[in-house]
Structure 1
Amino acid sequence: MQHTATSLLHRLLARGKFRHAQVLLQLAELGSVQRTAEAIGMTQSSVTQTLAYLEKLLEVRLFERHARGVRPTPACKDLLPVARQLLLGVANTAQIVAARQQQGDGVVRVIASASATNGLLIDALPEFSERHPGVQVHLGEAEGEDQLLAIARGEVDLVVCRRPPVIPEGWEFHPLREDRFVIVCRADHPLAQRKRLKWADVAQATWLLLPAAVAARQRFDELALRFPQPPRSHPVVTRSLPMMWRLLRLHPLLALLPLNLARPFLDEGALVQLRIGEAVRIDPIGLLQPKAGMAAAAVRLGEFLARRAEAGPSA
């Protein structure tokens, strides 16, 4: 018997349980009733009964049984992203309620780009937590479209990022910190001691490159047109921050990066900036926030970041 989406919704609201989503995800990941039972503290018979109940509730087969366990059907694979979001929402709810029970001042869900984390939040959040210990800040990292997707899903209260091409409806962007491209290397690189550099000097170096379509890579490709010969590059091309910092510290490489992305390593002296040519500015790091309806904890953090940014970073 076929059901409309509305009738299935009413059925799920009336008879569905969070445990169903948990069993669905664990079975799909582990492929075994026994391992699923062990992972979530149920008996094997309870897992089997829960699956049978869910398949009856939805009137669709979710797993195919085989000699070594189970495998998800196409219908199950369609449901997995929804089940993950459901459990994520449940986990966030538990965090928020726990914070309130501990007599806290609320929870702020923040998503930031890597440049925003390194250039602004890495110093600002510890200071904010010292001044407002009752506010829990849940920080995640995401770039571009993933930030907008989190907003659309209602998973975030504040986003610290560059201004997106399109501002989501009901949100506004406030710039907080200027940014520009810089050429960096480790402190003992031969070029680090040179006061006057020409493009021919850096053209002879070996470069650590970011992937195509990243703004820093596009800018590097433009600069490379000035080089007298094609630049040499390291065989690893990555935007993974741990890998980038490791390679820059291990090898005498140059990299063209946003200043805010490299700022912590420049501040501690692990990397140095090469001065060559005119500074090329890029969109500033800023705060993307709702125009109205923000919780008190989110307002407090947003105002703190704005005040702190007015002072500017260290030179």
Structure 2
Amino acid sequence: MPAASTVLLNRLLARGKFRHAQVLMELAELGSVQRAADAMGMTQSSVTQSLAYLEQLLEVQLFHRHARGVRPTEACLDLLPVARQIVAGLGAGAEAVAARQHQGQGVVRLVASGAAINGFLLPALAAFGERHPQVGVQLQELERDDLLLQVSSGQVDLAVCRQPAVVPSGWRFDAVAGDHLVVVCGPHNPLAGRRLRSWKTLSEATWLLPPVDSIARVRFEEVAAGFPRPAATYPVVTRSLSTLVWLLRNKPVLALLPYRSMAAWLGQGLLSTVAMDTGFSLEPVGVLQPEQGTRAAPVLLARWLLSAAAEVPPGGGV
């Protein structure tokens, strides 16, 4: 008879080891006991014994053995996301303890959106690190629902993001920088810097489409509905900012994107904009912080970010 989930949980709590999560991950990624052992600094027999112990503990086969190595079972694939969370959590905990021991004032767990990082946070964090080297900052990039989940579950100390429709209970949002949609292109695109009053000239261009669930996509489709013919689109849709930047710099394409998301590349001249007022404003970027019970280090960083608001450059592209 299969063991109940509560029985398995109690076994893992009483007899499981953090090393088991690492063994699971390395075996699944490398597909070989020997390669996993080399990666973890263990012997091949130790890895084999750890795997056998874990399978016995869970009463399930985790890997299929074959001549070339191992292949994860369905049960293993179910467990892998949990194993990754465990190892990632341990890594974050180790960094926090090390920061506390070696830097004195602790560490700030900071989560931020791409627009916040590229449109405001990069120079502010660099200046903060120079002024307060005793404070460690752990920065993770997330978007929208994933970011707010980290906030509402108390897994972060601060968040820098676009103003949410509903601020999580116990937190407050302070705006730092306004934002709007701009038409972005490579610096050598014939339309770069060209001042336009209407979308007509852009109707013949090839466009990089934003993700379907983004406000930029909604606004682009509103504009494209007025084109004399369906808009020509490039066959890649992505949230990856590095991919967008590469395509814009190397292909004759345009994209309707938030100014703050592209500000770092626009400021360096790696990208350009079409000089027109799109008429599409966005919610501002700002700081989400707990209303009370915050440690000294997050409070220090939050104050720094808000004090830096006056130095945030205005949006371009108009």
TM-score (norm 2): 0.88
Matched, 1:121 2:116: no
- Could you tell me which residue of structure 2 aligns to residue 82 of structure 1? 82
- Report the Cα offset of residue 225 of structure 1: 2.3
Partners of 1:194 and 1:29 lie apart in 2 by 49
- Report the Cα offset of residue 278 of structure 1: 5.4
Bigger shift: residues 125-134 or 180-189: 180-189
- Could you tell me which residue of structure 2 aligns to residue 38 of structure 1? 38
Q: Is the 8 A contact 2:181 2:278 kept in 1?
A: no
- Could you tell me which residue of structure 1 aligns to residue 131 of structure 2? 131
- Could you tell me which residue of structure 2 aligns to residue 189 of structure 1? 189
SS of equivalent residue, structure 2 residue 103? coil
Partners of 1:235 and 1:267 lie apart in 2 by 27
Flag the 1:123–1:59 CA change in 2: closer, same or farther, 3 A.
same
Tell me the alpha carbon deviations over residues 92-128 of structure 1, each in whole angstroms, 9 at most, x when there is no partner: 1111111122134211122211111111112111011
Flag the 1:267–1:172 CA change in 2: closer, same or farther, 3 A.
same
Partners of 1:56 and 1:191 lie apart in 2 by 65
Matched, 1:15 2:15: yes
- Could you tell me which residue of structure 1 aligns to residue 304 of structure 2? 304
TM-score (norm 1): 0.89
Bigger shift: residues 182-191 or 172-181: 182-191
- Report the Cα offset of residue 176 of structure 1: 1.9
- Report the Cα offset of residue 42 of structure 1: 1.1
Tell me the alpha carbon deviations over residues 208-231 of structure 1, each in whole angstroms, 9 at most, x when there is no partner: 322322221211111122323333
- Could you tell me which residue of structure 1 aligns to residue 144 of structure 2? 144
SS of equivalent residue, structure 2 residue 264? helix
- Report the Cα offset of residue 6 of structure 1: 4.1
Partners of 2:277 and 2:12 lie apart in 1 by 62
Partners of 2:33 and 2:202 lie apart in 1 by 59
Tell me the alpha carbon deviations over residues 156-205 of structure 1, each in whole angstroms, 9 at most, x when there is no partner: 22221123344334333322211111122334433345444332222233
Q: What amino acid sits opposite 2:14 in the alignment?
A: A
Give ranges in structure 2 of 5+ residues lacking alignment.
none
Tell me the alpha carbon deviations over residues 15-45 of structure 1, each in whole angstroms, 9 at most, x when there is no partner: 2211111112212222222222111111111
Partners of 1:65 and 1:268 lie apart in 2 by 52
- Could you tell me which residue of structure 1 aligns to residue 206 of structure 2? 206
- Report the Cα offset of residue 258 of structure 1: 0.7
Partners of 1:303 and 1:84 lie apart in 2 by 33
Flag the 1:194–1:72 CA change in 2: closer, same or farther, 3 A.
closer
SS of equivalent residue, structure 2 residue 143? coil
- Could you tell me which residue of structure 2 aligns to residue 56 of structure 1? 56
Matched, 1:91 2:87: no
Partners of 1:9 and 1:79 lie apart in 2 by 13
Q: What amino acid sits opposite 2:159 in the alignment?
A: V
Partners of 1:69 and 1:202 lie apart in 2 by 55
Tell me the alpha carbon deviations over residues 58-81 of structure 1, each in whole angstroms, 9 at most, x when there is no partner: 333323333333333333222221
Partners of 1:244 and 1:55 lie apart in 2 by 44
Partners of 1:288 and 1:183 lie apart in 2 by 28
SS of equivalent residue, structure 1 residue 147? helix
Give ranges in structure 1 of 5+ residues lacking alignment.
none
Flag the 1:307–1:74 CA change in 2: closer, same or farther, 3 A.
same
- Could you tell me which residue of structure 2 aligns to residue 228 of structure 1? 228
- Report the Cα offset of residue 46 of structure 1: 1.1
Flag the 1:177–1:45 CA change in 2: closer, same or farther, 3 A.
same
Bigger shift: residues 151-160 or 209-218: 151-160
Partners of 1:156 and 1:77 lie apart in 2 by 28
- Could you tell me which residue of structure 2 aligns to residue 108 of structure 1? 108
Partners of 1:133 and 1:81 lie apart in 2 by 34
Matched residues, percent identical? Answer: 54
- Report the Cα offset of residue 238 of structure 1: 3.1
Q: What amino acid sits opposite 2:312 in the alignment?
A: G
Partners of 2:314 and 2:283 lie apart in 1 by 19
